[in-house]
Copies of this chain bind each other. A is one copy, B any other.
Amino acid sequence: MTDSIGQLRERMAALMDLRTINQLLEWDQQTMMPPRGVQTRAESLATLQRIRHEMFVSDDVGQLLDAADAEINGQGPDSDDAALIRVTRRRWEKARRVPSHLAAELARASSVGQKEWVTARANSDFASFIPNLERNYELARRYVDCFDGYECAYDVLLDDYEPGMKTTEVAALFSELKSELTPMIAAITAHADRVDDSVLHGSFPIDRQRALTLEVIERMGFDRAAWRIDDAVHPFASGLGSQDVRITTRWEESYFASSLYGSMHECGHGLYEAGVDKKLQRTPLGFGESLALHESQSRMWENMVGRSRQFCNVLAPTVARIFGGASADLNQDTLYRAVNKISPSFIRVEADELTYGLHIVLRFELEQELIEGRLKVADLPEAWNARFKEYFGLDVPDDAHGVLQDVHWASGLVGYFPTYALGNLIAGQLWRQAHVDLPDLDDQLEAGELAGLREWLRENVHRYGSKYSSRELLQRVVGGPIEVAPFVAYVKHKLGAVYELDF
């Protein structure tokens, strides 16, 4: 009798090691690598990608999957073995469609594109970046062409970031979300003077911002023995296994909320990776695959915890103590109102909780048009700026504040953006459920105790890694699919009070 499931696990463990190595190469590229290292790094990533691809798509893996499937016959779909086979087979069937040389080209173009983007963004120079972006969209189309049987090209890309999700589902959710957000934003914009966030602006030395950020994320679960925090142009989180979690942030001397909430966001991602069950480590289930679920974690910590009236009870005196001076008298209510100021603005990652969704809808629409060839890369800034004016009523001053602001397209990540807004929706659902399961959650937050929520999330979300899709996991935890209503109810409740508006 053969131990096929054991062999499958061993094969996958090596592939997971290579995935971890890939994470390190990308983390290093964005935090540590000297600029002229870019060419060598692109070659390293391309070779690694090719080897991972070849090891994974081999016929052997298919035979192991079949044999392991037969071997575990009788284990229910919730067993780790069954989930491992199910998830691995789905990825294997998808990966086999993509030729090695295309996978390597995608990796190389991503690496070069990221580096070029840093310069293009710094100079707000879209023209010089057109060839990179055209290349990335051409490669994305060639990637889509590897598949068949999809409703629309975008489905293929979206599925890489949110397994099983369809473009039509997202379009329906976003349509509902947009119709809810638009009148709220209009009402709030008409009463913009009701919230003053001047306490967040001033002069905040970076070393004190570092101290503030560390103090807050250590409450969340950041552990110096197993985590790092570094600087990056475009902040991100990376899990090299559950015992080596790396988050990044950027600092703004005149506005401490940027790094503080950015770091809480990335720490939320990190907690997901750190919380995956030990027995799933080095398996294909050992990390959070659904980016919408991942984003539900980061945005819950950033917004629902970090911008709650309750947590401001602890945050305000911390800010006052660390910065002193003009901040010395900061109180809970002043901070709470300031960090919930709603104001249409140019940069997605600095957008408030309400307008954020519209930034995503805009990108979702544009990347569908680009991938279907209805929009040319060269015409992208014009399209971006026109739509931005329509949604936000603002004139984009330059491409660094417009189409060049995000690294995603530069890295070849098309179909990724929707997961951010889906994450908000899921966060709304989980947040409601957490309050049902933890009746004293608000009191805990008021006392600055974050362990209760973290453990609830670990128990209900993190520990499963990729075992369940976002659809399956939501069914288990809240008993239904993704919905818009809980998130909308949450923002209406909070912002209605802050702005004294009757939503």
Which A residues contact B (CB, under 8 angstroms)? 13-14, 17-18, 20-21, 24-25, 28, 32-37, 39-41, 43-44, 46-48, 50-51, 223-228, 240-241, 243-245, 281-282
Contact = CB atoms under 8 A, between A and B. Distances in A.
Contact of A40 (B25, B32, B37, B244): B244
A36 B226 contact: yes
Given A17-B43, A25-B21, A34 B228 contact: yes
A434 B243 CA distance: 50
Contact of A34 (B39, B50, B226, B282): B226
A224 B33 CA distance: 11
Given A24-B24, A24-B25, A34-B228, A244 B47 contact: no
Given A21-B25, A25-B21, A34-B243, A47 B14 contact: yes
Given A24-B24, A47-B14, A40 B226 contact: no
Given A18-B51, A24-B28, 15 more contacts: A17-B43, A17-B44, A20-B40, A21-B44, A24-B25, A28-B28, A33-B244, A34-B224, A34-B225, A35-B226, A36-B225, A37-B241, A37-B243, A39-B241, A43-B282
Contacts of A223: 36
A131 to B, nearest CB: 22
Contact of A37 (B32, B46, B226): B226
Contacts of A34: 224-228, 243-245
A244 B21 contact: no
A94 B33 CA distance: 33
A244 B111 CA distance: 15
Contacts of A225: 34-36
A36 B282 contact: no
Contact of A47 (B17, B39, B44): B17
Nearest to A226: B36
A115 to B, nearest CB: 12
A281 B39 CA distance: 11
A40 B243 contact: yes
Which 5 pairs show the lowest CB-CB distances between chains A and B? Answer: A37-B244, A40-B241, A17-B47, A36-B226, A36-B243
Between A24, A46, A241, A281, the greatest number of chain B beta carbons within 10 A of the residue's beta carbon is seen for: A24
A258 to B, nearest CB: 24
Contacts of A14: 47, 50-51
Contacts of A40: 20, 240-241, 243-244, 281
Contacts of A37: 226, 240-241, 243-244
A223 B36 CA distance: 10
Nearest to A282: B43
* Interface-central residue, A40, A41, A226, by most chain B CB under 10 Å: A40
Contacts of A51: 14, 18, 51
Nearest to A241: B40
Contacts of A20: 40, 44
A265 B35 CA distance: 24
A39 B20 CA distance: 12
A334 B208 CA distance: 42
A227 B51 CA distance: 28
Given A20-B44, A44-B20, A48-B17, A32 B243 contact: no
A480 to B, nearest CB: 36
A219 to B, nearest CB: 18
A116 to B, nearest CB: 15
* Central interface residue in A35, A48, A223, A244, by most chain B CB within 10 Å: A244
19 contacts: A13-B43, A14-B51, A17-B47, A18-B47, A18-B51, A21-B21, A21-B25, A24-B25, A32-B228, A33-B244, A34-B227, A36-B223, A36-B225, A36-B243, A37-B243, A40-B241, A40-B243, A40-B281, A43-B282
Contacts of A50: 14
A84 B79 CA distance: 52
B282 A39 contact: no
A271 to B, nearest CB: 15
A183 to B, nearest CB: 47
A41 to B, nearest CB: 7
Q: Which of A25, A36, A44, A228 has the most CB of B within 10 A?
A: A44
Contacts of A227: 34
Contacts of A240: 37, 40-41
Contacts of A46: 17
A36 B243 CA distance: 5
A47 B15 CA distance: 9
A199 to B, nearest CB: 32
Most buried by B among A21, A46, A48, A224: A21
Nearest to A33: B244
